[in-house]
Structure 1
């Protein structure tokens, strides 16, 4: 059975993945499909393939549609309304955190080690944010074997961040130096330049294998180290504020719009996450 609604969910996940600092895993949590997503990815290579494919493939289609159709629009807002749009995304991320604490049953299960893990994860995210590279303009791409192998590895590593809420695959690709190459290749492909297809295939296969590996690993952690994993995810979500935050507003109108969008994102995220996860909290 095909989950047609997942095309829309995948579209939303694709939009947030275009923004460095935002994770599609965060949106999967918000939409209440995170656990089912991990399980479905693992079942793609079992006898339950049809059911898993009916869940996963519509998400992939939706994400692909978003990436190909919304990259220019998202780029416009990021360039021309940087601070305002990032305050909205900050609200979206912070709105998920109360639900994560409730899923982790923090009142009864969280001990000092869980809060230390949250703190250390936030510090790790701060360090990660400060070592990222600047985006450099790319005018042409290298399709040699070594370059494609690098992009495969970068896609593999970056895709594991796609599955982890709070950790952006875009930021990982940025740190590795692959982000501008991939963005350039996507832009050229949408302009019908098919010479960049090897770039997209290499990165895409890396992402595919990385997601399969990461989903198995994270599901194992959630099964055997449930509350430590929840604490780690909470730390990732809180720490994701570092790459998302792009400064304070510079004038009165910008302050008003930023605060309004932050509160709107906060309220939207909190209410949607509670509704979509109400069976588990």
Structure 2
């Protein structure tokens, strides 16, 4: 049965999934949908799959509608205002790090192994900035390797709904396919959308169980990896120094604005979970 409240909650999650650095899982937590969403994803393979599917369809329709609307705006900004846009995203990403550190209470929970994992994750993600596609460029030549990359990108990005604090769009940015996927959503490029969608679906069905296990039974280690990955993604998002003083000033403003948005969202999240 279609339920309008679930549709609108899905829209809220979908809007954040388009913006790198803002986690759909965090928003699901804020609006009281996180545990039910995890239950539904893991319940697809049980006898009550019909009930869980109906719930996910309501949420999915809302997410799809929001993504279609937001993708056009984000795509235009990346094409016409790349530096201010990516500095805004950097602000979002930077503000997530202290939020995650606070959530896991790192002063009590973290030991040597946690910091080692954090540094490994930071280094590995940071190094992708050297090897990946230009984040502002749209892939134009498609081979079977490209579709494998898109499929795996969807698979990895699906963890964003499982782990609050991790953004699916940020995963796309790290892998160099963000602009391509945004363009595909805007132009309804079905081969790309189907490929990414299949990766997301398989990731939710399979990887969600693995991620859920580590999140609940090895939470501090999982957070260490998450924090390192998010911090390392700053190197991936960084678009370079703007050409003019005016553009530098605009980028500083958008960076601060992005930081404040994510910081305030973290504050709301803290109150909601207190």
What TM-score, normalized to structure 1?
0.76
Match of 2:155 in 1: 159
Which position in structure 2 is the counterpart of 1:223? 216
**C-alpha distance 185-279 of structure 1, shift in aligned 2 (>3 A):** closer
Q: Is 2:255 the partner of 1:262? A: yes
In structure 1, how many angstroms separate the alpha carbons of the residues matched to 2:89 and 2:179? 20
Structure 2 stretches lacking a partner, 5+ long: 161-165
In structure 2, the residue corresponding to 1:32 is in which secondary structure? Answer: helix
**Segments ≥4 residues shifted beyond 4 Å:** 47-55, 134-137, 182-188, 196-199
The alpha-carbon deviation at position 250 of structure 1 amounts to 3.2
Which of 16, 28, 32 is residue 29 of structure 2 equivalent to? 32
Q: Does the aligned pair in 2 maintain the 1:166–1:238 contact within 8 Å?
A: no
Deviates more, 1:91-100 or 1:108-117: 91-100
Counterparts in 2 of 1:64-83, with a 5 A limit? 64-83=64-83
How far, CA to CA, are the matches of 1:265 and 1:206 in structure 2?
29
- Structure 1 counterpart of 2:97: 97
- Aligned pair count? 260
Matched-pair contact (CA < 8 Å) for 1:157–1:210: no
Q: 1:155 to 1:174 in 2, by over 3 A?
A: same
Partners of 1:259 and 1:83 in 2: CA distance:
10
1:185 Cα offset (Å): 5.4
Structure 1, unaligned runs of 5 or more: 17-21, 190-195
Classify 1:258/1:186 alpha carbon distance in 2 versus 1 (closer, same or farther; 3 Å): closer
How far the C-alpha of 1:43 sits from its partner, in A, is 2.2
Picking from 5, 9, 26, the partner of 1:6 is 9
Question: How many angstroms does 1:150 deviate by?
Answer: 7.3
* CA RMSD, Structure 1 to Structure 2 (Å): 3.3
For residues 240 and 107 of structure 1, what CA distance do their matches in structure 2 show?
23
My pick for the range that moved more, 55-64 or 206-215, is 55-64
Between stretches 99-108 and 54-63, larger displacement belongs to 54-63
Deviations 1:140-166 (A, max 9, x none): x78xxxx5x973674245322342415
